[in-house]
Amino acid sequence: MFFQVLFQGLTSSNTWQVTLEFAALLLLPALGGVISERSGVVNIAMEGMMLTGAFASVMVTLAANNFGLSSAICVLFGLLAAIVAGGLMALLHAYFSIQFKTDQIVSGVAINIIALGLTSYLLFEIVPVGVPSLPDRLRLPVPPLGPLANIPFLGTVLFQQNVIFYITLLLLFGVQFLLFRTNIGLRIRAVGEHPQAADTAGVNVRLLRYLCVVSSGLLSGLGGAYLALGVAGLFNPNMTNGRGFIALAAVIFGKYTPLGAAGACLIFGLGIALSYALQGLGSTANVINLLNTLPYIFTLVALVGLVGRTTPPAADGIPYDPASD
């Protein structure tokens, strides 16, 4: 029974479509995490940044719609608002952890809590009744890819994804290139490994760290827009449901590289997609609660087996103080 359901799940195009969608949703904050951690700032606040982005995307889109702007413009405003909102939350994290040298974990936790409280509060102030949901015309579209989308199996899996999915793919290779093939990437990594040495060599450590942390917010905010404005079409309090934390796990399992994180996101995505398929196993029992945790257990085992020990950048989490040694 179990293997039959598993086989059905693995051969269904829906499973793979969901896998890629879920992976891309995780990958955006994960890419942000990679950039931030590589520059030496621990970022556990992707969850909050993503949630803020999701909130801003839906609220701004609805507000623009109320002004009578055309649908495409509304969605574009929503998308930009999400990115900016994520960036602002990240700026807060950067300000605390770089300027005030606050413990980066504490600052991250604070951002997550502020994001949850603030979005829930504002939601009720702005929309006193009902879940703010969007009609199809006010969502990020699935681009029509013509004949490609009609290919059996692969068409569904690869070519019927939301427009942000394809942007995420571009960003993945862009960030990988930026970090490992460019001058600025070398500087970012140097700042994360040995900021004193980088400083001596003339790199502006603070500025670079600021830029990296804010980029992580921009990417997480974009992830929030993908979630709320693309996939779900609505905003709910706490709708990110821990994705930012799973993304953080993907960063670590991916050995702090974009491609590695993408691999980890894919495995998480497959786990989630399979948990949908496994729903058929225990129809009424409480067992389903356990089945729903199966992807996480399976993922941890798979990743620990595949990846083994990962080493963070040497100066990760340590505030830079030019005066010390």
Partner 1 sequence: MRRTSGYIRLAGLLTLFAMLLAACGGTTTGSSTPTPGATTAPKAKYTVALVTDVGGLNDGGFNQLAHTGYEKARAQYGFPDVVIQTQTPTASEYVKNLTSAANQADVVIAVGFLMQTPLDQVAKHFTSKMFAIVDGCAVPDANTGACENLSNVAPLFFKEQEAGCLVGAIAGQMEKDGKSVVPGLLGKNTIGAVGGLPIPPVNRYIAGYKFCATKVDPTVKVVVGYSSNFTDPTICKGIANKQITDNMADIIFQVAGGCGIGVLDAAAAKGVYSIGVDADQSKDSTGAVRKGVITSALKRVDSAVFTIIDDAEKTTYAAFVAAPTKFDLAHDGVGYGTTSSNVPADAVTTANNYAGMIKSGSLVPPEAIP
* Footprint on this chain of partner 1 (rule: CB under 8 A): 8, 12, 14, 18, 22, 25, 62, 96, 100-102, 106, 110, 113-114, 116-117, 120-121, 123-124, 127-133, 135, 227, 231-234, 236-241, 272-273, 276-277, 279-280, 283-286, 288-289, 292-293, 319, 321, 323-324
CB closer to partner 1 out of 76 and 110: 110
Phi, psi of 53 (to 5 degrees): -60, -45
* Smallest gap from residue 5 Cβ to partner 1 (A): 10
Residue for token pair 């909050």: 48
* Smallest gap from residue 108 Cβ to partner 1 (A): 11
Dihedral sign, CA of 16, 51, 253, 194? positive
* Smallest gap from residue 173 Cβ to partner 1 (A): 25
DSSP 160: S
Residue 133 forms beta bridges with which residues? 234
Do residues 256 and 310 touch, judged by C-beta distance below 8 A?
Answer: yes
CB closer to partner 1 out of 183 and 324: 324
* Smallest gap from residue 130 Cβ to partner 1 (A): 3
Residue for token pair 């300027």: 99
CB closer to partner 1 out of 84 and 234: 234
DSSP character string of 280-306: TTSSSSTHHHHHTTHHHHHHHHHHHHH
* Tokens standing for residue 224: 């929030």
- Measured distance CA(97)–CA(42) in Å, rounded: 9
CB closer to partner 1 out of 233 and 312: 233
CB closer to partner 1 out of 155 and 233: 233
* Ramachandran class of 255: left when φ > 0, alpha when ψ lies in -120 to 50, beta otherwise: left
Query: Measuring CA to CA, which residue among 258, 256, 294, 260 is closest to residue 275?
Result: 294
CB closer to partner 1 out of 71 and 102: 102
* Smallest gap from residue 239 Cβ to partner 1 (A): 6
CB closer to partner 1 out of 31 and 62: 62
* Smallest gap from residue 285 Cβ to partner 1 (A): 7
* Smallest gap from residue 103 Cβ to partner 1 (A): 10
* Tokens standing for residue 156: 């569904």
H/E stretch holding 121: helix 104-126
